[in-house]
Amino acid sequence: MTPIDSQVQLTTPVRDRADVLGLNGEDHRLLARWLSEAGALTAIPAAAQRRRRRVLLSATAAAVVLVPWLIYLAATLPDRQRAHDWRLAWVGFDAALMLAFAATAWFGWRGRQIVITAFLVTATLLLCDAWFDVVLSWGSAEQTTAIVTAIGGEIPFAVFLLTVYHRLVRVLTAQIWRDRGRAGDPPPLRQLPLLLLRTPVDTLATRPAVSGD
């Protein structure tokens, strides 16, 4: 799909809602692409773009700083240490996990968009729970139970939630792709520019669809 030539016209004039509803598929995609290119569907304020740059710079700096910090921790932290407020730490974590499950169920049953975020948060907490359960119980009487629970319950359920999360994001991406007048399926998420940005994606549309991400 190449940029639309300025001389291309709709086969049917558009004056009102009925005219839009009466467009054929190709004209509908053409009109949607014009609106998208004009910024009518998405207009990102300059202040929001500056905030995005600050967030990305902060994330990049944090990733760089954490490399020497991890090396330092690996070299200096003791293998064993007596922990204070152990009960509070684990009860608090499990309470957060319970709230995440409750939010996922609540928003899911009510069909709210935020359930996508709830899927991701719950899956992340489950993986963290499995990691700390196994690592902190290693060599103790609870080791076998922690491993069985992680392999048989926490990790598979987290993978399931992440799979649902990924499918929902793909469905929403495909809907936006069609709403912007582009035919076929969008490219994988790892290749797709952020849809909120006015980034040219016409070159991506010429690539063959790739299953999975």
With residue 57 as reference, give the H or E element that holds it.
Answer: helix 46-76
Confidence of residue 201 (pLDDT cuts 50, 70, 90): very low
Residue 14, pLDDT score: 72
Rounded CA gap, 164 and 213, in Å? 14
pLDDT tens for each residue of 153-198: 999 999 999 999 999 999 888 887 777 667 778 888 888 877 655 5
- E-state strands within 99-155: none
HEC-encoded secondary structure of 148-164: HHHHHHHHHHHHHHHHH
- Per the structure block, which two tokens stand in for 119? 């899927």
Rounded CA gap, 78 and 176, in Å? 51
| Pick from 1-15, 24-38, 52-66, 77-91: least confident | 1-15
When pLDDT is averaged across residues 195-213 and rounded to a whole number, the result is 50
Q: Tokens 């929001």 map to which residue? A: 48
Confidence of residue 36 (pLDDT cuts 50, 70, 90): low
Find, among 34, 1, 36, 31, the residue nearest to 17 by Cα: 31
- Per the structure block, which two tokens stand in for 86? 């152990």
When pLDDT is averaged across residues 144-151 and rounded to a whole number, the result is 93
pLDDT tens for each residue of 74-108: 888 778 778 788 889 899 999 999 999 999 999 99
- Per the structure block, which two tokens stand in for 47? 């202040």
Whether residue 115 is predicted with pLDDT greater than 70 in this model: the reply is yes
Whether residue 28 is predicted with pLDDT greater than 80 in this model: the reply is no
When pLDDT is averaged across residues 45-50 and rounded to a whole number, the result is 75
Residue 129, pLDDT score: 94
Looking at 110-154, list the stretches that DSSP marks H as alpha helix, in order from N- to C-terminal side. 115-136, 143-149
| Pick from 19-33, 44-58, 75-89: least confident | 19-33
- Per the structure block, which two tokens stand in for 211? 């299953």
